[in-house]
Amino acid sequence: MHVACLDMEGVLVPEIWVTVAEATGIDELRLTTRDISDYDELMGHRLAVMAERGLRLSTIKEIIGDMGPMPGAVDFLDWLRERWQVLVLSDTFYEFADPLVAQMGRPTVFCHDLVVEDDQVVGYALRIADQKRRAVRALHGLNFTTLAAGDSYNDTRMLLESDFGALFCPPRNVVDEFPDLPVAADYDALAGLFEQAAARLDVR
């Protein structure tokens, strides 16, 4: 039995922080895991910028509510769910993800939690360190095989742990650092890679 494990931002929905940066004019929030591989360093930067600019959670959620999934994402999810189980493994936060998940038919999502005081984001609580890779490893322990896709540095450990992993529309710096990972430029290409991988896994 195969489980398709997908990153959320950059694979199913636009990058949340980039969208927030564009909507608020706070360019310092444009940095993502595509730019900084150390997640704690990245979140420390974001928390400092939000505090300095007085950016409230309610404002961020309003912006996210207007985002919507990427074009073709819902159809791709429906295609996947006709074939395999689907698990979204994300380093975003439930406070951000919920309105987007609702627009995608509520796939199962594992992500993290924000620490909020008086509508101000003051910290974050990881579900578990290295959760994407460890979730895939746990699925293997349950005798599932895994197909995975992501776009950023924080996805690469999940992709390498999976029975098959592919980069989806990644930036050049990630491709250059992980040249052995196949790359899909659109959902049709990713679907084809998954079908080929599943066929190979089925005859092992």
Strand order from edge to edge, sheet including 108-117: 120-125, 108-117, 85-93, 2-6, 145-150, 164-168, 183-184
In a domain, 181, yes or no: yes
Mean predicted confidence (pLDDT) in 5-20: 95
Is residue 137 one of the residues assigned to a domain?
yes
Query: Which helix H or strand E contains 51, and what residues bound it?
Result: helix 39-53
- How many domains are contained in the chain? 1
Range of the domain at 75: 2-13+70-111+128-202
H runs (alpha helix) in 66-202: 73-81, 94-103, 131-141, 156-161, 172-177, 187-202
- Is 36 part of a structural domain of the chain? no
Token pair for 51: 């505090």
**CA-CA distance, 168 to 148, in Å (whole number)?**
10
Domain for residue 54, yes or no? no
Beta bridge partners of 6: 88, 149
| Residue 37, pLDDT above cutoff 80 | no
* C-alpha closest to that of 86 among 108, 106, 71: 108
Q: Is residue 120 part of a domain?
A: no
And the tokens for 67?
Answer: 């985002």
Average pLDDT over residues 60-88: 95
Mean pLDDT of the chain: 94
**Phi, psi of 144, rounded to the nearest 5 degrees:** -95, 150
By annotation, the residues acting in catalysis are 7, 9
Residue 194 inside a domain? The answer is yes
pLDDT at 203: 64
Contact by Cβ (8 Å): 153, 131: no
pLDDT in tens, 111-162: 999 999 999 999 999 999 999 999 999 999 999 999 999 999 889 999 999 9
Q: State how far the Cα of 103 lies from the Cα of 172, in Å rounded to an integer.
A: 30
Task: Kindly report the CATH number assigned to the domain that includes residue 188.
Answer: 3.40.50.1000
Give residue 16's pLDDT.
92
Is pLDDT of 204 > 70?
Answer: no
**Res 24: pLDDT:** 95
Chain segment 185-200, per-residue pLDDT in tens: 999 999 999 999 999 9
Q: Name 201's Cβ contacts closer than 8 Å, sequence gap at least 6.
A: 2, 145, 163, 164
Confidence of residue 34 (pLDDT cuts 50, 70, 90): confident
In a domain, 77, yes or no: yes
Structural domain contains residue 155: yes
Q: Percent of the chain, pLDDT > 90?
A: 87
